[in-house]
Amino acid sequence: MDAETLASAVGSLMLTMQSCGDLLAPTLAGCLYDALGFQWTMTVGGSLCFFTGTLLSIVFIIFGSGNKKSETSTGENVALLSSEKSTTDNGTLE
């Protein structure tokens, strides 16, 4: 799968999820409001936001950090998300 096809697929998936959220969120919030009342609906909504933020933070800390390297268009390795310095082909620090 080439980069353009992958980018198109990811964009389509993001737009689909956004549309589903735009439809389902008010519907579910209305059902919760009718069943639980305003205070409990806000408590449930806030708790879900807090839980999601905490979970995403943990996932980023575990999987998103490390000594990752990226190759630039000139072919040199550049350190990403680390404190180490990269060197050019002739050995000088950047």
Q: How far is CA 40 from CA 24, 28, 44, 69, in A?
A: 19, 13, 6, 47
Q: What is the per-residue pLDDT across 13-35, written as a single tens digit (0 to 9) for each? A: 999 999 999 999 999 999 999 99
Tokens of 2: 């080439």
What does the pLDDT read at residue 38? 95
What confidence score (pLDDT) does residue 2 get? 87
**φ and ψ at residue 71, rounded to 5 degrees:** -95, 125
Residue range 38-78, pLDDT digits in tens: 999 999 999 999 999 999 999 999 888 665 555 555 655 55
How many Cβ atoms are within 10 Å of 57's Cβ, its own excluded?
A: 11
Give CB contacts under 8 A, 24+ apart, made by 21-24. none
Which parts of the chain fold into alpha helices (H)?
3-36, 38-63
